[in-house]
Structures are given as structure tokens and as C-alpha cells.
Amino acid sequence: MTSLRCATAYTLAYLLLAGGWVLGSDLALQALIGDVQQLAHYQLYKGLGFVLFSSLLLLALLLLHENIQRRLRRDLRASRERLDLALDAAQEGLWDWDLGSQQVFFSPGYSAMLGYAQAHFGNTRQAWQTRLHPADLRAACSRLERLLSGEERRYEATYRMRHADGSYRWIFSRGHLLVDEQGKPQRFIGTARDITQRRADEESLRQAAAVFDSTQEGVLVTDTEQRIVHVNPAFTRITGYSESEVLGQTPRLLKSGRHGMEFYQSLQQALEKRGSWSGEVWNRRKNGEIYPQWQSIRSVFDENGLISHYVAVFSDISALKRSQSELDHMAHYDPLCQLPNRLLFSERTRQALERCQRENSHAAVLLLDLDHFKYINESFSHTFGDQLLKEVAMRLLGSLRAGMTLARLGGDEFGVLVEDNIQAAGAALLARQLIAELSQPFELQGQRISISASFGISLFPGDAENVEQVLRNADSALSKAKGSGRETYSFYSQELTEQAQHRIELVAALQLALQSNQLCLHYQPLHDLDSGARLGVEALVRWQHPQRGLVPPGEFIPVAEDSGLIGSIDAWVLEHACQQMCQWQAEGVAPAFIAVNVSSRLFSRGSLDQRVAQVLQRTGLAPHCLELEVTESAVMDDPDQALQMLQRLRALGVQLAIDDFGTGYSSLQRLKNLPVHKLKIDQSFIRGLPEDADDAAIASAVIALGRSLGLKVVAEGVETTGQRLFLQQLGCDIGQGYLFSRPLPASQLVNSTDVAHCTR
């Protein structure tokens, strides 16, 4: 309206000026010039001059207007740039709603705030409204309607809007309604800001404040000068100091005096190096009580990386200390007799052993066991038995010297540790004294009870090098004492001598057995699982002792391995098995092959192939009728040497099998290169079939592995039809076990018509 009035005023002024010029100039010319022709001539020049003047005036006005417009556009552009910069700096977006056209201008910053390009966001109220969170839609629209109705002039609102990625962002909007002279709304303009992170930070601060106030741990905040600036309620509850009493003070107020200067210096150094420290601290409450804390201190850094505060979080561990002491007592002491238990006794024995080894002294452990104590529990009651154990503990304690340790190891078993450089005679004397002391009757609940005890003695460090051996030796000696009639004692070293003598005698007898043909072979068949046909037999060594009868292999084979006789036994088995096979062939009842076990000792000697070649030559047995079984562990001891040996044996033409497969640690890379024909699954994996899931998985894996490598798979120890059917379903080729036959002498081995024969 102002511009229109100005334009009207300038136009009227020009009309008046121009009209006055026209009228005034004509009258002046008429008065000065009387000649009509000259008057017309001058009027022409006057008109042209007026037109020229008007044109120049119009040009000047247009140039002035253009200059003003250019300056206004420049100022407007600068204002817009400043506004955009201000909005960008404030991370705000702008909207401008023309209420007449119902078009809304959303700035690029507004659209980008919600993940949109300006062209894709829209330019209507609906574009804004459809992106509101459903829970905020009603309140946001209601607030806007109150503004448009004139109830409010300024606008501030917080709501959630959907981002382009589908998430919702918290938006804070602030705007102003513009109206005309009549008060009618014309435009609604304002800004919006994404405050999602600010709200999350505020929520975190509220949660942190709630935790700070409600946590059971005390919290102490100091500035860089170590002045306390804040504490939480738990601090007051634990220390007894109120917030007003400690603000401005230093944590030295809480010092107990138990820690030296070096402790606090190391704490400060840890804070300077790592920015944190944790540990146990003894502090003092307001009432003077000293108590333990577990404290963690952390440095707080500002935005410049400089330390601004220190935060200490601590908890009162007095109750925990008491509980630890109680738990320690429970862990190391017997609850019935209040004596050290096995754990503490073992620890003290270990310390005594180390001391003896260091000082070249001697000590002893005596294990005692009450004879026939179970009959007391059965005849009276367990309560009566417990009371008797208490009395026994008290009587033993009264009989021991200072420095000895008495422990209850469990049940009616007790242990005594003697460390004063005791010798065998002293240990025996102590055992006799304790036996005599315990032989005196006990008076319990009106009953007169007599008991006895047996003792096992282990001297160390002579008998043992570690605590496990000490206790094991003492236990062995105790067993010997019980076997000697009870109410006596035995030393471990005596038993060790007897066992060694027995071993020497067994080795000598085994050597004699080799020389006097006491060894014999039994044969166990191997059957095809599909057809049931007998394919071959395995030769198994047995010892027919002239006095003892048949000695179990588990008794003499380990002795043979330890003594080195196993190589001679293997050679004997190989020779006689090949001879038996030749005899069967001569009788026309030979199986397809005979399998012979090769011990790891014989296999590792490096001359097995030569021995096998000699036996085959002497007996005349065809190589393909002999199968050698080598354990998986023997192959894996030296894989490269084993591969060379197996290749030489394969070159002889004999069949090769890996025995006890699954019990070693075979490399699949090496296994695929081994020149073997069969894998024998160890019977420990067959025993649980088909019920045991682990055994089933292992058997299935071995069978699948064997078939993939083109090897036959043999299952040892097949004893039930269920095992056979399960193995058959898995694709196992051959079975061996009691289901088919026990190992039998050659004379008892039943020849079936379905035997697959081996020819020369």
C-alpha cells in the first residue's frame, strides 16, 4: 500500500508539472510572439524539447529504479545466505507456509534432516502431517489448529517424524504466524531441529542420575585439586558423612592410616599412566571404624583431552571379608571334627615336601583308617559314629606333638603330617603309640566301644617327588596294613619291594615261557557282515602257565612291553601263525588270510620287513595270505618312518591294516597316503552301539572315511546282533567279536563251508 501511494503521488506531481509547463509555456509564447507562423514554429520546438526532457527524466528514473532493485536483490541474497548459514550452523531447517495458496516451502536443510531431497519431500501440509508419529499426530495437529484459530500467536512443539530410513526422529519446531491489517493469517514461518541425540543424552543423564542416587556403591567425585564436588546417598550411608560435611574437603578425610605413602604414590601413578585404578583400600568411617573397601577410580577428561575430574566408586566389603573367612574355613576344615581337610592337608604336605627338598631333611605322612568302622554305624547309628569320630580326633590331637598336623581326610580316614626330620624308626614308634592310644575303650552314650586302626606310612622325599605320590604311596601302604591283619602299620617302600620282586619273577617266567613253548596261539574269526561268511582269522597270543594255567594277556603283555620281550613274542607269533596257515592250506581248510598284530616296539625297529620276508620264505606262505595289523599310535609316533616301512611291507605283497583306529591322532593327509588295505575300529567305540550317540557318530565317521579312501573297515568287539545290524546299515565290511566266536585254539576252530580259501 505504501508503494502504491508513493507511485500515485509521483504521477500527480508529474501531471501537474507537465500541465503547468504546457499551459504556461503557450501563454508565454503568445505574449512574446505575435506572429502566428513563428508561434507555431516555436511551439514545435517547445514540444520536442518537452518530449526530450521527459525522456531523459524517464531514463533517469528507470536507471535509479534499476539501481535500487539491484541493491535490494543483493541485500536480499546476502540476507538469504546469512539465513542459510545461520540455519546450517544451528542445524535447523526452515518452513514457510503460505496460507492463501496452501503451499509450504521446506528448505533443503529441513528435507535433509529427515533424509529426503527437497524435490522429493513435498510442499504441502499433508507432506508434513503424514510423516508424524501416530502417537504424536493428534497433539501436533491440535497445537497447529489452535495457532491458526488465533488462540496462540507463537508456536513451539516437540514431536516425532519418520525418517527416510523408516526410523523416527525427535523434532523441535518453533514458528510465528504472520497476519494482515485485518488480523487474518497470511503466512506461518518457522524452524525445526533434530533433537533425537539431545533427548537420548538427556535420557542417559536421567538414567545416570537415577543410578547415581540409587546405586548401593558409594560414589565420590573430585576436581583436579582433589576437592570433593559431589557424593551420592550411598556414600553417606557407607561412610557416615553427609554431603555438606565433605564438599570442598579432600578424600584424605577418610584415610585409615593403614596404607603408607608408597601406596598412594602407586595409585596416583596408575591414574596418570592408565587413567584408572582398582584395588582394596582400608578407610575410616565417621564413627572411627576402619573397614575394607573395593574401590575403582577413573579419570574424567574434557573435550580437550585434559583431566577435569576424578570419579571413585567403592563398596563396603566387610561382609564379603567375613564370608571369605568363613568360606576359607569351610573349604579347608572338616565340619565334623574341625580338623584340616584333605585340601589343606595336601597343601601343607606340599609345603613340607618343598622344605625337605630345599633343606635336605625328612618328613612323613601317616594315613590311618579305623578298622571295621562301618559296623559301628550299622550297629548303632550314624550319629553315634559321628560322635565317635569326634572322640577319636580329640584323642589323636592329645597324642601328637606340637608342629604335627592332624587332618580328617574323609569318612573314618585321618592323616598325620610329621615334619621334624623324622626317620623310619620315629614314624614307626609314632604309629605304635597311636595304635595303642586308640585301642583304649571309648565311653559314648553309656556304651563302652573298643576300636583299632591301621596305618600306612610314606617317607619323603625318598619315596616321592610330589604330594600326589606321597599320598598315593601312603594309601598303598595303608592297604597293605589292612591286608596284613589290621591294627598294624606298613611302610610304602616294603610294598614297593614286593611288587618289584613280583615283576622280576614274572619277567623271568615269561622268558622261560618263550624258551619252553608255554606260549600258544588262539584264533578269532573275522566275518563278512553282509553274507556272514568267515573271511579270515586273527592270531592272538596266550600263555599256558604250568602251575597257574592260562595267564590273561592283560597281565603279561604290559610286562612284556616294558621289559622288551614283546619283540621276541611278536616274532614267535608271526612264525607260528604262518606255520599254522600253511598247515590249514595243506588240509584244505585255510581261511582267506591270517592277521597278526605287530607291536609298536617291533614296528619301530626298522627291520620288520626283513623279518616278515624271512618268515614267508621259511614257511612258504603266500604274502597275500598274511595281514599285519599295526596300531594307529605306532604309525603316528614317527609318521615318515612308518610310511617307509609300510611301503616296504606292501612291496612284499602282504596285506596291511591300521588297528585300534580312532584312539590315536591320525592326520587325514598322512592317512590317505598310507599303503594300507583296512581300518579296524577300536572296540571301545563298538561297545556302546547302537544306543550311544557318540559311539555311533564315531563309527559312522570312520566307516565313511574308510569307504571314501577305498579301504575295507573292520569292527572289533561285535557282541550283539544289534551291533552287527547297525554296523551293516552303516556300510561296515567285516565284523569280529564274541557274536561270531571267541578266540579258540586251532584244534577247536570250527571250519564252515562258507570259508573263503587262500591258495598258495
Distance (Å) of CA 318 to CA 277, 315, 321: 20, 9, 5
Identify the pLDDT of residue 84.
56
d(CA 635, CA 649): 14
Tell me the β-bridge partners of 185.
179
Q: Please name which of 127, 170, 179 lies closest in space to residue 152, comparing C-alpha atoms.
A: 179
Helix 492-515, helix 553-563: angle, nearest 10? 90
**Closest by alpha carbon to 698, among 739, 662, 752, 734?**
662
Q: Which amino acid is at 352?
A: A
Q: Provide the β-strand partners of residue 284.
A: 290
The kind and range of the H/E element at 236 are helix 233-239
Q: Which residues pair with 180 in a beta bridge?
A: none
Predicted confidence (pLDDT) at residue 143 exceeds the cutoff of 80: yes
Q: Which residue has the higher pLDDT, 502 or 314?
A: 314
pLDDT of residue 524: 92
Query: How far is it, in rounded angstroms, from Cα 534 to Cα 755?
Result: 5
Confidence at 66, pLDDT banded by 50, 70, 90: confident
CA pair distance 716, 723, nearest whole angstrom: 11
Per-residue pLDDT of 550-568, as tens digits, reads 888 878 887 787 677 888 8
Residue 595 has pLDDT above 90, yes or no: yes
User: Of 125-129, 301-305, 404-408, 707-711, where does mean pLDDT reach its minimum?
Assistant: 301-305
The pLDDT of residue 500 is 45
The residue with greater pLDDT, 626 or 549, is: 626
Lowest model confidence (mean pLDDT) among 206-220, 232-246, 426-440, 601-615: 206-220
Residues of the chain with pLDDT > 70, as a percent, come to 89
Max avg pLDDT among 122-136, 636-650, 651-665: 122-136
| CA–CA distance, 499 with 598 (Å, rounded to integer) | 29
What value does the mean pLDDT take over residues 591-604? 85
**pLDDT bracket for residue 501 (50, 70, 90):** low
Exposure letters 344-354 (e unless 16+ CB within 10 A, then b): bbbebbeebbe
Whether residue 458 has pLDDT greater than 60: yes
pLDDT at 600 over 80: no
pLDDT score of 755: 42
Burial tier of 710 (Cβ tally within 10 Å: 0-12, 13-18, 19+):
exposed
Nearest to 196 by CA among 164, 169, 172: 169
Beta carbons of 288 and 276 less than 8 angstroms apart? no
Q: How large is the average pLDDT for residues 478-493?
A: 81
Q: What is the DSSP letter of 132?
A: B
Q: What confidence tier does 448 reach under pLDDT thresholds 50, 70, 90?
A: confident
Interatomic CA distance for residues 473 and 484, integer angstroms: 17
Predicted pLDDT of residue 127: 86
Q: In this predicted structure, what is the pLDDT of residue 222?
A: 92
* pLDDT value at 442 more than 50: yes
Mean pLDDT of 389-394: 92
Average pLDDT across the chain, whole number: 83
CA angle centred on 346, ends 397 and 325, rounded to 5°: 80
Cell, residue 607: 627291520
Strand partners, 157: 173
140, three cell numbers:
501436533
C-alpha cell belonging to residue 645? 616301512
Per-residue cell: 248: 570442598
Query: pLDDT-based confidence at 626, cuts 50/70/90?
Result: very high
Angle at alpha carbon of residue 547, lines to 542 and 553, rounded to 5°: 25
Evaluate if residue 133 carries a pLDDT over 70: yes
Query: Using one digit for the tens of pLDDT, what is the confidence trace for 152-189?
Result: 777 888 899 999 899 999 999 988 888 877 778 888 88
Range name among 353-357, 585-589, 662-666 with the lowest pLDDT average: 662-666
